[in-house]
Chains A and B, each alone.
Chain A
C-alpha cells in the first residue's frame, strides 16, 4: 500500500522537499520532546507535579532517534549521503542529555524552546517552521508515537499536515529499502498488521519497541563534550490560554434517559446492573478443544475475519 500524500482534502503547501532523486544528500530529522517521564498526578486537583530529574526522552522518542540513525546508515550505503538531526522541544535542563546524542552519530541537535503552553497543532506549527528547506530542510521526519506526558500522538499528524508530507504513524517496524524509501509496519485492530511503502518526504512515528538507542563509544562521548547544541526560542502570538485546571476525566457518553417508575429501577436501567450481559459459559475441555473454542468465540466477535461482527 502506498500512502497518499498530505490530507485527502488537499490544499496544503508542500514544505518538504523530496530530496533523493535530485539531491546528493538527505536529512532525517528526529522530532522529540523532553517530558516528565513519570508524572505525579495529584488525585484531587489533577495537577501534574514537577519531579526534579524525572524528565527525559521517552522510549518511543529514543526509538525514533535510533530509527533515524539506522535509516541514514542504510540510505548512505545505498548511495545517498544521509544525516540525522535531532529537533527537541524542551527546556534548558535537557541540554546535557541532548549533548550526549551528538556522541551516537547524530550530526546536529537543535533544541526548540517553546515559551508558552500550546496545543498539538501549535506545537506542530512551531516544529514545521524549523523543518522547512530554509532551516533544517528535512526530507524525513521521525517522531515517537506519543509523548510521555499524556500525549495524544497527534503532533506527528499535524506536522505531516503542516509540511504537506505523507504520514505513517504508530509504526511497530521499519525497514529502509532504497534511497529515500522504507517499508513500515503498523498495528491494526484484530491482531492484524499493515505494511506501508513510504517515500520521502514523509512524517512517520514509531512505538518504543521499534529500537533501543545505541550506546556511544567512549571517544565519541568525550568528543561530544566540546560540541554545542543549537537553541531556538519560539514565541507565538497565540499561546494556549489555560483558564482552569481540573482533574482529567474520561469523556462522558451520551445515553438515553433511563426508563422506570422508581429511582431504583432507573438506576438499574442506567447502570445495566442485573441485566444479563453476554452470558458466561464454563467449558471443561482439553487444551486443543479449548483453543478451538477460544478461536470460535473470537471469530464470533469479529476479530478473526474481515467480515463485520455479527
Chain B
C-alpha cells in the first residue's frame, strides 16, 4: 500500500476487526462487544462454520465463564460418555475403553457437534452482544501505517476496513499473520492433513452398535491405522451419523504417493471398524490442515496493532490421545478479545500495549498445556508410537489370549520380550521412550 493510500486511522471504522468467525474469532468478538468496544467480525464463508471441518468433539469447559449454562442451548449432537483408544494393525485391534455416565450430565465434559451449527451459534452470541458480523467477505491483506497494522483490505468493492486492532483468527496457515511477518518460514513437517467422512446411520443403529442410549455418544481415537504415513484415526458418533477420519503427516503423505481417501478406505474396511459403519451412507467428505506441531511452531502472537489467536497461532493441541483445537481456539480468542479491549481503552494498541494478551495466555490452560505437552506431537508421530507400539500391543494380546494346549501358557514377560524382538524394539529404546513419554504427559 502506498503512503498516499494510508487510511485515516484517527477515526477508524471499528475499534477492532476480527478476521474469521470460527471459535477463536467469535470468542474474541464476544469479549470485545461485551467490553463495549465496536467490533467487526469478518467471515469469508456465507455463514459462520460453513467453511469449517474438524473431527467432531468439543470440550466445553472453557465456555463456562463465557456463556453460563451453555449446555442448555448449545447445538450439540451427543454428549461423549465413552472414550476409547484403539491400537490396531492390519487385522488386529486392542481397545482401552472408558465409560463415565457423569459425562452425560451437566456440566458435561465433551460433546459431538456440527461446526456449521456450533460456529453459527457462537457467532450469534457475539452478534447479540453487539458485534457486527459480515459474511461472504474475505480479508485479502493488511492495511498498514508504517509498521503499524491499521486495518484489513477485503475482497468487496471499496473493501478497506480500518481499526485500532486487527485480531487474526483466520485459522491454520494464516496468511494475515504471515503478511504481518509474525511467522518464520513455514515447514510442512509442522502440519498434518485431516480428512473425514460423515456417514449417515439411523439413531437406533448407532445406539445399538456403540452401546449408548439417548443423547450419549462415543469418541474413539485410533493409532496404527495409517500405514506407513505417521498419523492417527478417529471415529465419533453424532445423533444420526458417524464421523470417521484420519490425520496424516503432510510431507510423509506426499512422499508415499497415496491418496488420503485410499488410506481412509482401508480404515473403514478394518474388521474392527467395518461392522460399526456398515450400511451407512456417506454424506460428506472433507479435508483440512492441522497445525500439528503446536507450541514449537507458534508465531509471534503480538505485533503493532495486531494479535493472532486460535489455529492461526498454531494453538491446536494435537497430542495423541488429545486432539483439542476448538477449546484452545475459544480460550485464546477470548484472551485476545479481552487484551484488545483493554488496549483500546488505554489508547495504546502498540506491541507493548497489547502485551496483556500473552500474560493472559500464560495464566490460563492455553500456554500451560502447550508448553507442558510441547514434545507430545513429535512423540506421537515417532516410529515407536506409530508402528512398533500397535504391533507389539496387539501381538502381546494375541499371544496372551491364544490357548495353546497342550503347550503350557507362556509367561507375560516372555511374550512381551518376544514381541519386542519381533518388532525390532530394544529394551533400552523402550525405556528411554517410556521415560520421555512420562516426562511429556506426566
Give the interface of A toward B (CB within 8 A).
Answer: 52-53, 100, 215-219, 221-222, 225
Contact = CB atoms under 8 A, between A and B. Distances in A.
B157 interface: yes
A53 B156 CA distance: 23
A217 B47 CA distance: 18
Contacts of B47: 53
Contact of B132 (A53, A219, A222): A222
Contacts of A218: 134, 137, 154, 156-161
A118 to B, nearest CB: 29
A225 B156 contact: no
A222 B116 contact: no
Contacts of A216: 156-157
A225 B13 CA distance: 14
Contact of B116 (A53, A219, A221): A53
A217 to B, nearest CB: 4
B158 A217 contact: yes
Nearest to B117: A52
The 3 A-B pairs of least Cβ separation, nearest first, read A217-B157, A218-B156, A217-B158
B143 to A, nearest CB: 12
A52 B49 CA distance: 13
Contacts of B137: 218, 221
Contact of A222 (B50, B117, B134, B157): B134
A1 to B, nearest CB: 39
A100 B137 CA distance: 12
A215 B116 contact: no
Contacts of A215: 156-157
B132 A225 contact: yes
B132 A217 contact: no
A225 B133 CA distance: 9
A186 to B, nearest CB: 32
Contacts of A100: 136
A42 to B, nearest CB: 12
Interface string B133-176: 01011000000000000000010111111000000000000000
A53 B136 CA distance: 15
Interface of B: 13, 40, 47, 50, 116-117, 132, 134, 136-137, 154, 156-161
27 contacts: A52-B116, A52-B117, A53-B47, A53-B50, A53-B116, A100-B136, A215-B156, A215-B157, A216-B156, A216-B157, A217-B157, A217-B158, A217-B159, A218-B134, A218-B137, A218-B154, A218-B156, A218-B157, A218-B158, A218-B159, A218-B161, A221-B137, A222-B13, A222-B40, A222-B132, A225-B132, A225-B134
A217 B159 CA distance: 7
Contacts of B116: 52-53
Q: Which interface residue of B40, B50, B116, B158 has the most chain A CB atoms within 10 A?
A: B158
Contacts of A217: 156-159
Contacts of B13: 222
Nearest to A219: B158
A223 B4 CA distance: 26
A218 B132 CA distance: 12
A53 B116 CA distance: 9
Contacts of B136: 100
Contacts of B158: 217-219
Given A217-B159, A218-B158, A222-B134, 18 more contacts: A52-B117, A100-B136, A215-B156, A215-B157, A216-B156, A216-B157, A217-B156, A217-B157, A218-B137, A218-B159, A218-B160, A218-B161, A221-B134, A221-B156, A222-B13, A222-B40, A225-B132, A225-B134
A219 B162 CA distance: 12
Contacts of B157: 215-218
Q: Which interface residue of A215, A217, A218, A221 has the most chain B CB atoms within 10 A?
A: A218
Q: Which interface residue of B117, B132, B157 has the most chain A CB atoms within 10 A?
A: B157
A215 B135 CA distance: 12
Contacts of A225: 132, 134
A43 B361 CA distance: 52
A53 B119 CA distance: 13
Nearest to B133: A225
Nearest to B136: A100
Nearest to B160: A218
A116 B366 CA distance: 51
Contacts of A221: 134, 137, 156
Nearest to B157: A217
Nearest to B13: A222
A114 to B, nearest CB: 24
A283 B116 CA distance: 56
A85 B200 CA distance: 42
A100 B157 CA distance: 15
A215 B154 CA distance: 12
A100 B47 CA distance: 12
Nearest to A214: B157
B315 to A, nearest CB: 28
Contacts of B154: 218
A216 B158 CA distance: 9
A217 B154 CA distance: 10
Contacts of A219: 158
